[in-house]
Amino acid sequence: MKQITLPLIGFIASLVITISSGWPTVNENNINVVSLNIENANTGQIIPSTMHGVILETNINRDDDGGLYAEIIYNRAFQEKGRSLDGWSPFGQGSIALNTFQPFGFYGINIQVQNYTASFFYRSLGEAYVAGGQLRIGFSDSTGQITYGISTIDVSIVPADNWFPFSFTIPIFSNTSSAKNVFFIEFPPGSKGDFEFNIVSCFPPTYKDRVNGARMDIAQAFADLKPGYVRLPGGNDLEGPTILERFIWNNTIDLLENHIGATPVLAVYAGYSLDGKAVPQDELQPYVDEVIKELDFLTASASNNSMGALRERLGRSEPFDIKYVEIGNEDFFAASSYSYRWPAFYNVLSQRYPNITFIATTTKSI
């Protein structure tokens, strides 16, 4: 019996391969047979939890919008680049700007017997008139012939020319195996004039019942991975197609939280974008200042820091526990500029935030 022990650094147990008679045996079908025994009596290196994690690669293949994010209305704010009505299509007759327009969802809309939470901003313009004062909102098949759920709201309470937020529940009373369903806003016959909608939103029940939360099945699969950390935002989204279209952290401030117990690894923009252009060395300071504001917003006290006070006004008084910050993304593609971008960020940030570990995105050979 010949025994070969291969210690694998980073695995809990060493691997013991036992080969009978020194070499593989041959069975009756003339196939080599190797006996493999794994023993865990002797432990190897302990794996830190931060050796295993995930990255939220923002909106590559719709992994956020249309994926983890539970929103089912596509282009809810009519801000898709180049086509403000992308994802919407007219249905029926009328002169209303968005009269019974239907968003088709990201890849269709899956309907189940459950309650959906919908909302939008609405206003009527001038002498516009909704017959009976009520709108019907719900889900139907693509022909509009089969209705799966509906809700009615009273818009007569809204003064003309004033935006008003509506939030309501759409109970679904019938299942369908098809995803070719639509969300509709229906005006009663006799309505006339111009009406405007914005931030048209609809959510199924979300992970841990969080408002504006994550899709149940994807979020649960995400949590079941038990990642030691979650790196966000996604790499390419961080860099943006151009410097002007980079990830700008303060444009994302909101009241949202979705904590699954993993350590956040925060990625910050480091002066390089997907068009291959890097910020010149003598122009980097505003981008360093941008990161300082972001880290102050996340970690500073609300009592003596303006960014910390802003965080408190948005609903969170306690600082976030940020242990790791990654400077840039995949900068081995731009090592020549990272050689000056890295120290420009690291030298300032490491002095200001000594308890944070800063991570480079390329090798020390730069």
Q: How far is CA 237 from CA 166, 314, 322, in A?
A: 32, 24, 20
- Compute the average pLDDT of residues 232-247: 73
Q: How far is CA 77 from CA 27, 120, 288, 338, in A?
A: 67, 9, 31, 37
CB atoms within 10 A of CB 55: 18
pLDDT in the model for residue 62? 63
How many helices (H) and strands (E) would you count in the chain?
5, 17
pLDDT in the model for residue 97? 45
**Ranges 74-78, 316-320, 357-361: which has the least confidence:** 74-78
CB atoms within 10 A of CB 317: 12
Q: What is the mean pLDDT of the chain?
A: 77
**Is 244's pLDDT higher than 70?**
yes
Nearest residue to 260 (alpha-carbon basis) of 220, 299, 294: 220
pLDDT in the model for residue 7? 34
**Is 100's pLDDT higher than 80?**
no
- Compute the average pLDDT of residues 345-352: 96
Report CA 155 to chain centroid distance, whole Å: 33
Q: Which residues of the chain form beta strands (DSSP E)?
A: 2-6, 15-19, 25-26, 32-33, 53-55, 88-89, 102-103, 115-129, 134-141, 147-154, 164-171, 181-186, 192-203, 229-232, 263-268, 324-327, 357-359
Range with top average pLDDT, 30-34, 83-87, 147-151, 192-196: 147-151
Distance CA 280, CA 345 (A): 13
pLDDT in the model for residue 364? 59
Alpha helices, H only, the chain: 216-224, 235-239, 285-299, 306-313, 335-352
**Is 15's pLDDT higher than 50?**
no
**Is 57's pLDDT higher than 70?**
no
pLDDT-derived band at 138 (thresholds 50, 70, 90) equals: very high
Top pLDDT among 167 and 59 is at: 167
pLDDT in the model for residue 66? 66
**Is 89's pLDDT higher than 90?**
no
Top pLDDT among 64 and 11 is at: 64
**Is 151's pLDDT higher than 90?**
yes
pLDDT in the model for residue 300? 95
**Ranges 50-59, 128-137, 260-269, 312-321: which has the least confidence:** 50-59
pLDDT tens digits, residue range 250-273? 666 654 333 445 677 888 999 998
- Residues 6 or more apart whose CB falls under 8 angstroms from that of 22 comprise 2
- The crossing angle, in degrees rounded to 10, of helices 306-313 and 285-299 is 50
Q: Which domains does the chain have, with CATH numbers?
A: 2-46 (no CATH), 53-59+216-359 (3.20.20.80), 71-205 (2.60.120.260)
Counting Cβ atoms within 10 Å, is residue 271 exposed (0-12), middle (13-18) or buried (19+)? buried
